[in-house]
Amino acid sequence: MNKPFKMNPHIWLGLILLLALCARTYHITYPLIDMHSFRQTQTAGLIRDFFRQGINLFYPTMNTLGNPGYVILEFPLYQAISAVLYRIFYPDVITARLFTIFCGLLTIVFVYRLTKKFLDEKSALFAAFFYAFMPLNIFYQRVPMPDPLTILLSLTMLDFMIEGINNKKNVFLATGIITGSLGLLMKSPYVAPLYLPLIYVTYKQERSFKALLNIRFLLSFFLPLGMLVLWQRHANSVNEVYFSTHGYPFSELYSEVMVKLKPLNRWYFGTVEQRFQCENYLTILLRIYKEMLSFIGVFSLALGLFAIVKKKVAAFYLIWIAAILLSFMVIFNLNVIHNYYQLPLAPILAIICGAGAAYCVNAFRHKLISSFMIVLLIIPFFYINTLNSKTLFEQDNNYLEIGKFIDSHIEKNAMIATSLPTDDLWYPVLMYYSDRHGFNVSHKRLHKDMIKYLRDNSVKYLAVVDYAGMNASINQVLCPYEVINENDRVSIYDITKSFKTCEKIPPNEKTFAIFNFESGIKGWHALGKVQITQDKSKQAEGKASLKITGTGQGGQWSFAQSSQINIAPGKRYRLTGSMFIESISDDTSFFKCECWQGYQWLKNFVSNVYNMNKKGRWQQLKTEFIAPEGKDITVSFAVEKRPMEKDVQAIIYIDEIKFEIMEQP
């Protein structure tokens, strides 16, 4: 075998680790906060406060909803280790990031080891390189979340148990059992698939199915499973207590996401219909291409499949990748909506890519050509993935200024509740920016019982964001409380005591809503990677309009949406609005009326679409509809994007949004 660069392979591995460390620490403070971090840690205020207080292993992770407010989903090993590090070093989110980076670097070493077990040194080095510089790994191996530690534990289990099985070393086997057990407790979908290639290794060792009945193998399999069952029983017992709490206003939302109490939960597993929608598979494949492989990786992967077959080690690696893909199909919905659920695929893809890259280099006998091929594989992969990784680091600043405003107008230790237009329970970003603990409550969940619950749980202030004041039932709830401060996007209420008595506000069927954006953009919020601002350079009428800029993300229907307003059932309504499209990357846009009854979505009514033949002009769009029958009917307005499954970049202006009741025909 030719050796274009004569250097100890461990030195090459060290250089890869050093570059990987630089790539991850370069972004350690940018962004300071990202949604992925907080969707996983699920803390309501500054994460440093959470870790500073330490952690109870049996009541972990979620204090977003206050007391009772605990939901046990994952064994909190990552949080416990981070808590210890916070006490030893410094209570700041960067400390947690450094621990995650350490886990990521160790994972690179295990990718190297697992490649070298069945292939050669050069393949192992290439595999380590491919794994180290996948954009998905660069991003997630520096955020405070348990996934990188779980991936590390899964590869440690696989490595040590293979060693223990092949060489009958009980120390390695015991280490594999412990790490596998901890990984299963933390995130079983990441670890469970790796037991399939372990079964193959055990069978191959003795070429007999009797090997699977060996006491050492049975312990390796059933001990982790037993620990998982015990943890799950404990989690269920705690969660069921909180679910059954009388008057607990978040029970319905919990049941939507609580997998452990609903074995066939749609949020977790998805639906049969989802599995027949091509756009879902396209979404995952595009992530694998853009966030893992790029065209260099795809080329190396194709060669790698050929190389491992030629070396007669294909069975182990193919069973590994098949097990991960099977896990994708089982935990389908989470793999569609979360890109980090593709993290378990990264190690095996890197290994096969490493085999392909080594095969390509070895095909050329001349030392100079081999060296050129190495450069040709490494430089483009590094450069392209550096560019691709930038999109993952885009910061969500939509609520940054609001958070600073709240922070500067209430006392530091006060518990708060934030009320946002969206119904997303997992959105503590505003509380992070506000440097407070508390609750997140959507607009449509603001009722008297909710206010009482917040007050009973030590919440002093309610920050209502992007609410235009056009929902009679919400106005009735907020009416008794004093607004201590507000700006054009947020009103801060002191809910500790009522300062006035409000008469019930009767619905006025003749009034109509107007958004002319003359006094700001209150009542509207952006979705996805979109920003909305008041603009005074373009307007259909008056002196201002609302400007929408950015990327409407794949999987979301709208660029921006208004708060909800009450409407009378059975009445005919008309929505009119002016739209000006300056640029859009795909299709067109239009207005949508989204009807709800309480928490239940009913139907949508859409306007005519913007005529792209007249792009660059103001166009009036409209729709008429009869409101559904029933109580508590509300409607919100949205600026729609198409196609839904793709990212769509746009610069759009809207103005003079009018909603009025019509005379019945």
Q: Are strands 482-486 and 618-626 parallel, antiparallel or unpaired?
A: unpaired
DSSP state of 389: H
Mean pLDDT, residues 320-336: 93
How confident is the model at residue 325, as a pLDDT? 95
How confident is the model at residue 447, as a pLDDT? 84
How confident is the model at residue 110, as a pLDDT? 97
| Residues 522-540 pLDDT 10s | 888 888 788 899 999 999 9
Mean pLDDT, residues 85-108: 87
SS3 419: strand
Give the integer Cα–Cα distance in Å for 317 and 305: 9
Give the pLDDT band (50/70/90) at residue 512.
low
| Residues 117-159 pLDDT 10s | 999 999 999 999 999 999 999 999 988 888 999 999 999 999 9
Q: HSE-up of 519 (CA within 13 Å, CB side)?
A: 8
What letters, b where the CB count within 10 A reaches 16 and e where it falls short, cover 343-368?
bbbbbbbbbbbbbbbbbbbbeeeeee
User: What DSSP line would sit under 461-497, residue for residue?
Assistant: EEEEES--S--HHHHHHHTTSEEEEE-SSEEEEE-SS
Nearest to 465, CA basis, from 510, 548, 408, 401: 401
Mean pLDDT, residues 435-446: 81
Which of these ranges, 37-46, 237-246, 427-436, 498-507, has the smallest mean pLDDT? 37-46
DSSP state of 293: I
Give the integer Cα–Cα distance in Å for 24 and 21: 5
Mean pLDDT, residues 483-489: 86
Give the integer Cα–Cα distance in Å for 523 and 131: 45
| Residues 364-376 pLDDT 10s | 877 788 888 888 8
Cα 498–Cα 499–Cα 505 angle in degrees, nearest 5: 80
Average pLDDT, the chain: 83
Nearest to 515, CA basis, from 364, 655, 614, 327: 655
23 compared with 114, residue with greater pLDDT = 114
Which of these ranges, 27-31, 173-177, 216-220, 318-322, has the smallest mean pLDDT? 27-31
Q: Tell me the two tokens of residue 53.
A: 């207080």
How confident is the model at residue 154, as a pLDDT? 96
Give the integer Cα–Cα distance in Å for 644 and 353: 32
Q: How far is CA 469 from CA 273, 345, 449, 473, 627, in A?
A: 39, 47, 20, 10, 20
* 263 has pLDDT over 80: no
* 2 has pLDDT over 60: no
* 425 has pLDDT over 90: no
* 62 has pLDDT over 50: no
Mean pLDDT, residues 55-59: 34
**φ and ψ at residue 552, rounded to 5 degrees:** -75, 120
DSSP state of 291: I
User: In whole angstroms, how large is the CA radius of gyration of the chain?
Assistant: 28
CA dihedral of residues 580, 582, 583, 588 (deg, nearest 10): 20
Cα 296–Cα 301–Cα 306 angle in degrees, nearest 5: 135
419 compared with 653, residue with greater pLDDT = 653
Q: Tell me the two tokens of residue 647.
A: 């990212």
* 262 has pLDDT over 60: no
| Residues 575-623 pLDDT 10s | 999 999 999 998 889 999 999 887 678 899 999 999 999 999 999 999 9
CB atoms within 10 A of CB 90: 10
Q: Are strands 633-640 and 565-566 parallel, antiparallel or unpaired?
A: antiparallel
Indicate the pTM of the whole model. Answer: 0.77
Q: HSE-up of 439 (CA within 13 Å, CB side)?
A: 28
Q: Are 132 and 20 in contact (CB under 8 A)?
A: yes
Give the integer Cα–Cα distance in Å for 13 and 15: 5
Give the integer Cα–Cα distance in Å for 514 and 492: 23
